Structure 1
Amino acid sequence: MKQVKISEAVVRRLPIYLQVLGELSKREVQTVSSQELGIKLDLNPAQIRKDLAYFGDFGRKGIGYDVSYLIEKIRQILKLDQQLNVGLVGAGNLGHALCNYNTYSKDNMKITAVFDAHPSKVGTKINSMTVLSMDNLVETVKEHNIRIGIITVPAAEAQNVANKFVEAGVEGILNFAPAILRVPDEVRVHHADFTKELLSLAYYLERERERERSNESIVD
């Protein structure tokens, strides 16, 4: 692998490539060109080739990419070829949904423990997992080598949960709460803020309406 700085945008595109390649594999497609991937992803083929070239020479000129081989290599790049344990805090509707997805996922990244602070939820089952008390979080994270924490609690509780994950030694946090988290530099945080995405979507919808009204007035 080339020793160069790889941008976050490139890394974020890799799972998208993996998803499309997985769909091609299910249809027993053996090879795919960057042009074909570009059409499916609405991306410039040159961008796809550049992204993949950061990690190695995976394609063959005039033939394209071997789908199975490229899936294997991207999984290795994303460390999905090894078990990666995940802990989740917040056994509400979103937490249940994520755990249900986890049940059917074939990736080696698995939610292996669920926690909640509410006494009525502690001891209940989500699929095969028993919801644990927050008092057990630090011990369980260390015992099961959990490296990633997911936060699906209200915003007011998110920082306290993050602090617990940091204390336990997690290396990354996926935060679904609409809150900015303060963590040490060595802990990476990704935010999945539904509210922010919906508000920004509303802006673009309204802008499209304004453009349509403008076009209608020109026609009139």
Structure 2
Amino acid sequence: MIELGEATVPAATVARLPYYLRALRDLAEAGVTTTSSSELAERSGVGSAQLRKDLSYLGSFGTRGVGYDVQSLAQYIASALGLGSEHRLAIVGIGNLGHALANYSGYAARGFQVVALLDADPQVVGGSAAGLTIEHVDALEDVLPRTGVSMVVLATPGPVAQAIAERIVGCGVREILSFAPVALQLPDDVVVRSVDVAGELQILAFHAAARAATNGTPR
């Protein structure tokens, strides 16, 4: 369970809130002012009962026969997610993935700003991406406090990820999004979200193999 203000919310519910927020913002951009639980659930990829249960952890929303006010619910979820103020990001590891992450155009609209890029490769350090100069990772303890970083995206090779993550935590950062293919061992008060692309593809491969076995078709 995770504390959100005065509410205690299951971690699985918190993980679904960004999908609800994205769906609500899409509806708002389309000029929709009210939506039903079934429509919002379908746009978010969950069941309507799950949606209603998730929202019940945050408070009482919606009017029977009318539905949810799109704008007010979006604002409430954004506030619950801590998106009322800008979060300053650093990306550590500016290889192909790091470059792609640095140049992602959707940060500002979601309350994030990339303010620092770091790498260890001499051929990369001193270059630029997304309008920022890439600094050497040796200067991490200077760069993170100087730029006011509150979250770090870790896109380094696996063998160095643990040591760099420990240095990041030593700078006071407690939120890390890791693309490194390792399980980071960090203090309990550090929140790590891991994105294992290869692992996700292996799960898809499992489902493909299971479907082929069920259908009696060769893999």
Hey, what's the Cα distance between the residues in 2 that align with 1:52 and 1:9? 12
| Aligned pair partner of 1:180 in 183, 189, 213 | 183
Hey, what's the Cα distance between the residues in 1 that align with 2:206 and 2:212? 10
Hey, what's the Cα distance between the residues in 1 that align with 2:31 and 2:48? 22
Hey, what's the Cα distance between the residues in 2 that align with 1:103 and 1:19? 12
Match of 1:72 in 2: 75
Match of 2:41 in 1: 38
- The offset of 1:145, in angstroms, is 2.2
Structure of greater Rg: 1
3-state SS, counterpart of residue 5 of structure 1: strand
TM-superposition CA deviations, 1:133-184 (whole Å, max 9, x none): 1122112211222111111111111112101101111011111011111111
**Is 1:155–2:158 an aligned residue pair?**
yes
8 A contact 1:102–1:110 mirrored in 2: no
**Is 1:13–2:8 an aligned residue pair?**
no
Hey, what's the Cα distance between the residues in 2 that align with 1:103 and 1:18? 14
Match of 1:96 in 2: 99
Divergent runs of 4+, >6 A: none
TM-superposition CA deviations, 1:78-135 (whole Å, max 9, x none): 1111011111101111111111114664121222111001111111110211101112
TM-superposition CA deviations, 1:22-59 (whole Å, max 9, x none): 11111111100101122333422122112112112221
Tell me the matched-pair count.
214
Match of 1:87 in 2: 90
- Residue type matched to 1:46 in 2? A
Hey, what's the Cα distance between the residues in 1 that align with 2:28 and 2:151? 29
Match of 1:167 in 2: 170
CA 178–133 in structure 1, closer or farther in 2 if over 3 Å, else same: same
- The offset of 1:3, in angstroms, is 3.8
| Aligned pair partner of 1:195 in 195, 198, 211 | 198
8 A contact 2:7–2:58 mirrored in 1: no
Matches within 5 A, 1:102-121: 102=105, 105-121=108-124
Unaligned runs of 5+ in 1: 215-220
CA 51–85 in structure 1, closer or farther in 2 if over 3 Å, else same: same
| Aligned pair partner of 1:123 in 121, 126, 131 | 126
TM-superposition CA deviations, 1:178-213 (whole Å, max 9, x none): 111111111111110011101111000110111111
| Aligned pair partner of 1:26 in 29, 35, 46 | 29
Match of 1:134 in 2: 137
Bigger CA drift: 56-65 or 11-20? 56-65
Hey, what's the Cα distance between the residues in 2 that align with 1:9 and 1:40? 18
- Residue type matched to 1:49 in 2? R
RMSD: 1.7
Hey, what's the Cα distance between the residues in 2 that align with 1:47 and 1:199? 27
